[in-house]
Amino acid sequence: MNRLLLGLLLCLSFWSHTTLASLLAIDYGTDWIKASLMSPGVPFDVLLNRDSKRKIQSSVGWKKEDRLFGSDAFNIAGRYPTDTFSALKYLHGAPFDSPTVSFYTSLSTADLAKTSRGTVAARRSDGSEWSVEELIAMQLGYVRDLAESAVNGEKVTDVILTVPPYFTQHERDAVIDAVEIAGMRTLALVHDGSSVAINYAMTRTFSDVPEHHIIYDAGASAIRATIASFSSVDSKSKNAGTSINIAGVGFERQVGGNELDRRLREILIKDFARKHKQDVRSDKRALAKLWKEANRVKTILSANADAVASVESLTNDIDYRSKVTRAEFESACRDLTGRFAKPIFDALANADMTLDNITSVILTGGSSRTPMVQAAVTAAVGKARIAQNVNADEASVLGLSRQFKTKDIRLTDIGPYDIQVSYIAEAKNENSKPRTINTLVFPAGSKAGSRKTLTFKRKDDFNVKLTYRSPPVPGYPSDILEAEIKGIPEALKNLTDLGAVDPVVKATVVLSESGFVSVQDPVAFGEIKDDSLSGKLKGLFGGSGSSSEETTADKETLARSESSSVPSSSQEPSATPEKKPAKKDNTIPLELKINLASVPPMSVAEKRAARDRLIAIDRLEAAKHAREEARNSLEGYLYRVRDLLEDGASDSPFVKCSQEKERQAMQKKLQEGFAWLSEHGDDASTKDFIEQRSALEVMEKPIIHRYQEIEEFPKALNTSQMWNWSTRLFITEAKANLTASQDSDIPPRYTKEEIESLEKTLKEHERWMNEMVEKQKSVEMNEDPILESSVLREKVKPLETQLQKLLKKKAPRIPKKSGTASSTTAASSGTGGSKSGGGSSSPSSSSSSSSSSQGHDEL
């Protein structure tokens, strides 16, 4: 069964036609975040940040008590080096004592701490600690807020994210934890190389013969190479789709743009020490400033032979300025040249291919623009294979989204690591030594979405471990999870009592579309012996019996693998016919308990506590922003009123509609407001600011009302007069109609009572309006109106309603006169009688008779 892209095509189809909710796609990179939003009625595009930029810096920081995101956070690192946190992707699920964390400390100025789970937290200058999951959740929450602003405040809760193919289960767990702490739900994790392959396929067609391309992604933290095979699905059909099969992956986890930045910063550090005899490695502010400058210089060197590094007040008020050449920079990175192209050859080896099978190498990722990286890849694969036909920055996030609405794309991804099942063999006797059996269930390159069913010959409860065959990353644990299977003795006894022969234990191991491996559905199973005559005959001629696919792995274990595609969505319709229940139940579910790995994901309680912590800081910041808005609003209002009062022109609307005593009172209140703002503005609450503004608004409101009435009253008066005129015209016509109806014996459309009632309402309204308008004429512009426009509109409504009701009244049906019917019948009889010989009349004869009759009448 073909798996639609990540199982989300069906899921999104269900989303599109039923829930109509928004879906957020995030490409979370080490240096930059790109996001897109799919929402009904919203044009699809990359999400813009608050500065209208198409990518967001992967940074979060604090400027004293103010939390900042994106470039705002990154740019304050030189002033607040221990309160700014960037490149957190390195620390996803990383053990605190691992080499990865040591490498991160060589890049960042952040202070790190160890969590209770053995992972990493960051410590701020005020002593507060935030886990990596919490800090990343803050960034994801910021992106979600941008998305919700784009859809006018509609809640966005569903998200899909990219992850590198080399991410272990521990790192993927950390991503899911961060999403949940941010208050969202993960629909899928997508390998970034696969997402770029999808984007590449969107605007292209392929034949039935597969094309093999390498997606070379040079990012900030690592380099990945993904071999994708493209071919057509149902090429002869009008709705032909594209099949993408990932054949192999290769990667270098610590060779990327940040390693280049680190080496360039080292050049600047040594140059500063040579010129000023000072080592700035112990000065975190200086390191943060040089890190930012190294990134800028690297960008310039990508297009120029040299660049000038300049940092004001680097340390001890010393301004630093120096020239760096591309040759010097490339010399410092010479040992990395071979590692730039190594992921390509690793991917080819995993896919069992050579460069002769490859059509092109597609460059993507920000570091793919670096000349030394391009030169290394070109030297490895040849210039003819180099392709730069995707957006290096946005291809990954666009691949997450655009395919859902334009083209049928089917993706089959793979797992990059060998995963095995380990368990202790059942002891033959008390003196037997424990023996661990390891069975490889998912070799590297196994298709994502596959499952394997393992069969064990066990009599007692036992544990099954899922582990990586070898450590996936130095310093990372190999164990994934441990499953306790319980209730085996009782279940086997029950099956034996039912007549089962040699019952066994079965468990299913699943490699999900998002790269998670799990143990599911443990059961006790046994073939029930059928002693009936039909059962014996069935067994004699090869009917139901033990599966011939099962092979003996050892004396204690029967191992059988059943590979199939896992449905990627709970909404996916099933075409499998329902199976009739067996006469005897030969399967008994067993108890399953999952124990987490040595570096476990966050527990439900930990995630809830982290979520509450983020909600608390969000509320605190929201209250702070509300207070700032209230203060700015009050200050702006005071200056506006001051301008009104100081503009003493007698023809200004404000002066015309206000009295001298009102302006004096407002002037006094205005001075009090400025004095209060100067004295209490720094410590006043939001409520205080609102009350101060309200006190002055109450004095201004009558003046504004007068001015508005001067504009609105003529309109309301004109509307009332129009209804009076229309009603009087209607009454005149209705009375004429009533008189004509009485003369012709035709029932009138409007009765006398209805016309008189309407006329009465009209006269009452005219009398009231004329009286009130005369009173209003004596009111000055700076006095409150006697007759308001709202009252005029309200008073004319009864007349309007009564008139509309009569206009909608249907005209009575006019009955036919009896004389007309009699003459018609007589004419018909005469025509028939004029025919000779009798018989039925024809249309021509009828017409002839009618003509003769008309001619006779004229004579």
DSSP string, 371-382: HHHHHHHHHHH-
Between the CA atoms of 652, 655, 656 and 658, what dihedral angle is there, to the nearest 10 degrees? 150
Note whether 409 and 201 are within 8 A (CB).
yes
Note whether 268 and 293 are within 8 A (CB).
yes
Note whether 219 and 166 are within 8 A (CB).
no
| Beta bridge mates, 85 | 60
Q: How far apart are CA 755 and CA 671, in angstroms?
A: 62
Tokens for 524?
A: 């006790």
From the number of C-beta atoms within 10 Å of its C-beta (0-12, 13-18, 19+), residue 710 rates as middle
Q: How far apart are CA 177 and CA 92, in angstroms?
A: 10
User: Phi/psi at 424 (nearest 5 deg)?
Assistant: -90, 130
pTM (two decimals): 0.79
| Amino acid 20: pLDDT | 54
Helices (H), 808-842: 818-833
Calculate the alpha carbon distances from 636 to 218, 640, 699 in Å: 50, 6, 17
| Amino acid 572: pLDDT | 34
Residue ranges in the chain whose pLDDT is less than 50: 1-19, 403, 537, 540-584, 819-859
Q: How far apart are CA 320 and CA 287, in angstroms?
A: 13
Coil, helix or strand for 843? helix
Q: How far apart are CA 172 and CA 164, in angstroms?
A: 10
Q: How far apart are CA 824 and CA 816, in angstroms?
A: 13
Note whether 338 and 301 are within 8 A (CB).
no
Helix axes 789-807, 686-744, angle to 10 degrees: 30
What residue has token string 């910041």? Answer: 621
For residue 294, which amino acid is it? A
- The set of residues, in sequence order, having a beta carbon less than 8 Å from that of 152 and lying 6+ positions away, is none
Calculate the alpha carbon distances from 163 to 219, 418, 569 in Å: 12, 19, 20
Q: How far apart are CA 560 and CA 441, in angstroms?
A: 10
H or E segment and range at residue 669: helix 660-680
- 105 — alpha (psi -120 to 50), left (phi > 0) or beta? alpha
H or E segment and range at residue 149: helix 132-150
Q: How many residues appear in the chain?
A: 859
Q: How far apart are CA 192 and CA 185, in angstroms?
A: 19
- The set of residues, in sequence order, having a beta carbon less than 8 Å from that of 498 and lying 6+ positions away, is 526, 528, 584, 585, 586
Number of Cβ within 10 Å of residue 145's Cβ equals 14
Q: How far apart are CA 68 and CA 617, in angstroms?
A: 12
Calculate the alpha carbon distances from 777 to 375, 706, 723, 741, 785 in Å: 88, 14, 21, 45, 10
Number of Cβ within 10 Å of residue 622's Cβ equals 10
Q: Which of 413, 525, 467, 513 lies closest to 187, judged by CA?
A: 513
Note whether 5 and 15 are within 8 A (CB).
no
Calculate the alpha carbon distances from 774 to 779, 782, 786 in Å: 10, 18, 10
Note whether 466 and 438 are within 8 A (CB).
no
What residue has token string 């998912």? Answer: 442
| Amino acid 118: pLDDT | 94
- The set of residues, in sequence order, having a beta carbon less than 8 Å from that of 252 and lying 6+ positions away, is 222, 223, 339, 340, 342, 343
Looking from the CA of 762 toward its CB, the CA atoms found within 13 Å total 20
| Amino acid 851: pLDDT | 37
Note whether 505 and 458 are within 8 A (CB).
yes
Number of Cβ within 10 Å of residue 555's Cβ equals 9
Calculate the alpha carbon distances from 336 to 31, 158, 223, 642 in Å: 20, 40, 12, 67
For residue 612, which amino acid is it? D
